[in-house]
Amino acid sequence: MELTTELPFAVAFTVAVIAVLLIGIAKAGFGGGVGLLTTPLMSLIMPAKITVGFLLPLLIIADGFTLFHHRGHWDKPNLKMLVPSALIGIILGVLLIDIVSDQELKRIIGGVVIAFTAVQMIRNHLQREALYRPVWWQGGTAGISAGFVSAIAHSAGAIVAIYLLPQRLDKRVFVSTMVLFFAIVNLLKVPPYLAIGLIDWQTLKSGLILVPFIPIGTLAGAWLNRRLDQNVFTRIIYILVLITGLQLLFGFNVLEWIFTHNSVSGG
């Protein structure tokens, strides 16, 4: 892995393992905000542009695990509205990544995850709203927004959830639609990521060592579903997302400061 911090490699690798475990936990359906933490966490240990390219193959592999369990239960009318417009958002997001600096991208990622942590917190309110059926422009707006945010931060679940929740879909249909939508979106991101060099052989090779932690995270998510209150776990994740997002937004890395400070103090 190409690190961008002064952290010891063992610490950086541990952070990467935690981030990938969170992918599996999120794909297992545990805690709506879990996936928000992965990209900003990885951005603390490597360049932001490498992070988004590094994570995409791992997300696609994780999608493969979850698609099997949710096959055939998705809502096709919603997908027909969301997917085509998501491609527009992906292109816009990749164009932005290509023109901004790495530090600017880190700030953007920090701002996005902070904003969507707040968005996640109003989801319960939306579940109490009157039932509605979306029209094409609403689906198009949601798709473009989700594609854009997914392209720059892999963190667009809140957008699609807020679009789908007021429709009062069956829980399995809701989850399956989310799973298939992001599986398609992640595949659609591959060509533009390759085109601007976000994915290359080095990122693929570095990511291979972390692949086993995806199914481990999925199993951990299933275990947590049975043993731990989702609300408690999700609140912890939100706090971590806010702390991590603020670090990216203001260009400060607490972990790096701790280890650098200790190294200097130790002489």
**Strand stretches in 26-149, DSSP E:** none
Largest CA distance in the chain: 65
Best CA proximity match to 19, nearest among 214, 249, 265, 185: 214
Residue 44 · residue 248 · CB < 8 Å: yes
Residue 159 · residue 149 · CB < 8 Å: yes
> What distance in Å separates the CA atoms of residue 146 and residue 212, rounded to the nearest whole number?
28
What's the angle, vertex CA 215, arms to CA 12 and CA 5, rounded to 5? 10
Q: Where does the chain have alpha helices with state H?
A: 9-27, 38-43, 48-70, 76-99, 102-121, 123-127, 136-153, 157-164, 171-195, 201-208, 213-227, 230-250, 254-265
Average pLDDT of the residues in 189-195 = 97
Q: What's the mean pLDDT when you consider all of the chain? A: 82
Q: Give the single-character DSSP code of 34.
A: G
Residue 238 · residue 117 · CB < 8 Å: yes
**Residue-level pLDDT at 16:** 92
Both structure tokens of 151? 């392209």
Q: 41 vs 94, which has greater pLDDT? A: 94
Residue 128 has pLDDT above 60, yes or no: no
Give the alpha-carbon dihedral of 248, 250, 251, 255, to 10 degrees.
-70
* Burial of 163 per CB tally in 10 Å (0-12, 13-18, 19+): buried
* Burial of 93 per CB tally in 10 Å (0-12, 13-18, 19+): buried
Q: How many residues does the chain have?
A: 267
Residue 146 CA from chain centroid, whole number: 11
Average pLDDT of the residues in 136-149 = 90
> What distance in Å separates the CA atoms of residue 174 and residue 65, rounded to the nearest whole number?
18
**Residue-level pLDDT at 263:** 47
Best CA proximity match to 239, nearest among 228, 229, 250, 247: 247
Average pLDDT of the residues in 104-130 = 74
Average pLDDT of the residues in 16-27 = 89
> What distance in Å separates the CA atoms of residue 117 and residue 139, rounded to the nearest whole number?
22
**Residue-level pLDDT at 147:** 96
Residue 71 has pLDDT above 50, yes or no: yes
Best CA proximity match to 41, nearest among 254, 223, 193, 235: 254
What is each CA distance from 146 to 116, 149, 163, in whole angstroms?
11, 5, 10
> What distance in Å separates the CA atoms of residue 254 and residue 262, rounded to the nearest whole number?
12
Q: Give the single-character DSSP code of 131.
A: P
> What distance in Å separates the CA atoms of residue 23 and residue 40, rounded to the nearest whole number?
13
Residue with tokens 């935690």: 18
Q: 58 vs 29, which has greater pLDDT? A: 58
Chain segment 157-166, per-residue pLDDT in tens: 878 887 887 7
- pLDDT band at residue 267 under the 50/70/90 scheme: very low
